[in-house]
Amino acid sequence: MLDELQAELNQRALQGLLRKRRVLQSAQGAHVQVDGEHLLSFSSNDYLGLASHPDLVEAMKLAADQAGAGTGASHLVTGHQLMHDRLEQQLARFLKVPAALLFTTGYMANLGIITGLVGRGDAVFADKLNHASLNDAAVLSRADLHRYPHHDLAALEKMLANSAAKRKLVIADAVFSMDGDIAPVPALLALCERYDAYLMLDDAHGFGVLGAGGRGVLEHFNLYSERIIYMATLGKAAGAAGAFVAGEQVLVDYLLQTAKPYIYTTASPAPVAASALAGVRLIEQDSQRRQHLHGLIKLLHDECRLQRWRLMPSETAIQPILVGSNEDALKASECLRESGILVPAIRPPTVPKGTARLRISLSAAHTVADVRHLIAVLEKAESA
Ligand SMILES: *Cc1c(COP(=O)(O)O)cnc(C)c1O
């Protein structure tokens, strides 16, 4: 088997698909040190620049002093600490829903929510560009999985109309992680109402970023429904780590009994929950960060003029530039790095074949000058 593994790795390398890690030697932020180089980074999901914010760091230290480092047990045994409880209450209050349930990561939340809600005899309807964790969860649930082309509501409607499943769950990224576009939530919800399905939204990239108050995609569209199962993560705009599901009390009560990635894992450390709580407070209280971020998004679209490459339409912090081939995307990323800018090349299977791209993430930690510098370097790299 090891020989086969080596051969597969060699094959990947030949196709320009080998993934490599770099060592981040500084804190996360606009300016980072990576493998000894100082770079201006457009490559994190730290959209509000909270990952190294003093409030989050202080909250973490204080919680470590009070609650210790490890939790020593799962939530349902003795690992559910005061900080977890407070964070869940704060999330429910902030989102104006009856209840929230915390998970250790977004990946686990998706596995837990979907396998906890549907099983054999049920059906899942999923956008083809959904995050890998949602696809894995659907497969693991053993429900019938129907994948519809990206945003194709007519295809989804046909699938729903033809389904005789007991429970029907439509699942979509609220903001698609490699395109930055927003799901047509009102239309999805209307279909769910028509066909008695429920709508699960993964708002990993919208929570903290979308909506005037930072409440994410539901505030963006100004809608609320008992049919919506809202999930978001705390490791992106909220600057910490973890994830949660929010909605009706009965939903949370039920998942507490059925979500295995919640039940059979050690509760995450209280200092992590404390920093997430500080992050959520800043999302609520410091709207200037969000306004600054949206100003930078507008600036990029107003001023970036590319010829061969294409800045994709996106009103979120994710700003992909379509390059095409794997080699060209890698070359582009390398060229930017030589100019001191860190932007990752995203290749298949993360994105469809032939759509390799540069994935720019803007953050409130960037300045107007940072973004203008990025634009100048991009235009130079494109013509190189
Ligand atoms: C990042 C991400 C996740 C996973 O969240 P983690 O907390 O990093 O495990 C899930 N869904 C989407 C859409 C994501 O972008």
CATH number at residue 217: 3.40.640.10
Looking at the structure, tell me whether residues 88 and 204 fall in a common domain: yes
Residue 312 token pair: 């994709």
Question: Are 181 and 311 in a shared domain?
Answer: no
Name the pLDDT band for 19 (thresholds 50, 70, 90).
confident
Query: Are residues 179 and 307 located together in one domain of the fold?
Result: no
Whether 16 is in a domain gets the answer no
Answer whether residue 6 is part of any domain: no
- Residue with the smallest CA separation from ligand 1 atom 8 is 106
| Alpha carbon of 3 to ligand 1 centroid (Å) | 33
Q: Looking at the CA of residue 177, tell me the nearest atom of ligand 1.
A: 15
Query: Pocket around ligand 1: residues whose beta carbon is below 6 Å from it?
Result: 105-107, 110, 131, 133, 173, 177, 202, 204-205, 233, 235, 243
72 within a domain of the structure (yes/no):
yes
pTM for the predicted model, two decimal places: 0.96
- Co-location of 29 and 80 in the same domain: no
**Nearest protein Cα to ligand 1, atom 7:** 106
* Pair (79, 150) in one structural domain: yes
Pair 232, 279: CB distance under 8 Å: no
Whether residues 252 and 352 fall in one domain: no
The answer on pLDDT for 16 being more than 80 is no
CA-closest candidate to residue 36, choices 47, 50, 49, 22 = 22
Per-residue pLDDT reduced to its tens digit, 157-207: 999 999 999 999 999 999 999 999 999 999 999 999 999 999 999 999 999
Q: What are phi and psi of 24, to 5 degrees?
A: -85, 115
Domain of 374 in residue numbering reads as 22-48+286-382
Lookup: tokens for 215: 């409440």
Shared domain check, 81 and 212: yes
- Residues 248-283 as b/e (b if ≥16 CB within 10 A, e otherwise) read eeebbeebeeebebbbebebbbbbbbbbbbbbbbbb
Catalytic residues: 177, 205, 236
Return d(Cα 25, Cα 38) in angstroms, integer.
10
Residue 122 has pLDDT above 90, yes or no: yes
175 Cα to the center of ligand 1, angstroms = 11
- Ligand 1 centroid–CA 235 distance in Å is 8
Sheet holding 310-311, edge to edge: 310-311, 318-324, 356-361, 345-346
pLDDT tens by residue, 280-330: 999 999 999 999 999 999 999 999 999 999 999 999 999 999 999 989 999
On whether the CB atoms of residues 260 and 74 are closer than 8 A, the answer is no
Q: Kindly report the average pLDDT of the chain as a whole number.
A: 96
CATH code: domain of residue 332:
3.90.1150.10
Å from CA of 233 to ligand 1 middle: 6
Sheet of strand 31-34: strand arrangement = 31-34, 37-41, 341-342
